[in-house]
Amino acid sequence: MYSPVCLQRNACPNIQIDPICCIVLQDLNLYLQDKVYMAGNQFTLADTFMFYGIHPLIVDLAVQEKEQYVNVTRWFDHIQHYPGIRHPLPPVVVLRNKIYSSKHH
């Protein structure tokens, strides 16, 4: 799992998170480029574990930061609306007009 410590530093250009978290988000964003789920063509435990692991990071990202990791944000928003997954975590607001623009489909 990823540590909330990622949110405590300003070491990454253009965003307010730790460089290690930037690398994790960049790699995850690339991995999810052509995927709906973490493993295979259906929801698995991998999605649940990743969702809970990165929730503390994603919840504090600004809109511009979420747009920078469009595939992660798309996946995260999809998983947070999966029945029974988000409880008891707070929802993360995603502006669909930017994240779900036609150039990303």
pTM: 0.76
Using left for φ > 0, alpha for ψ between -120 and 50, and beta otherwise, residue 14 falls in: left
| Number of domain units in the chain | 1
Residue 29: give its domain's CATH number: 1.20.1050.10
From residue 8, give the alpha-carbon distance in Å to each of 21, 39, 68, 72, 75.
11, 30, 19, 21, 24
Range of the domain at 84: 4-104
Query: pLDDT tens, position by position, for the chain (105 residues)?
Result: 344 444 434 435 555 667 788 889 999 999 999 999 999 899 999 999 999 999 999 998 888 888 899 999 999 999 999 998 888 888 898 886 644 555 544
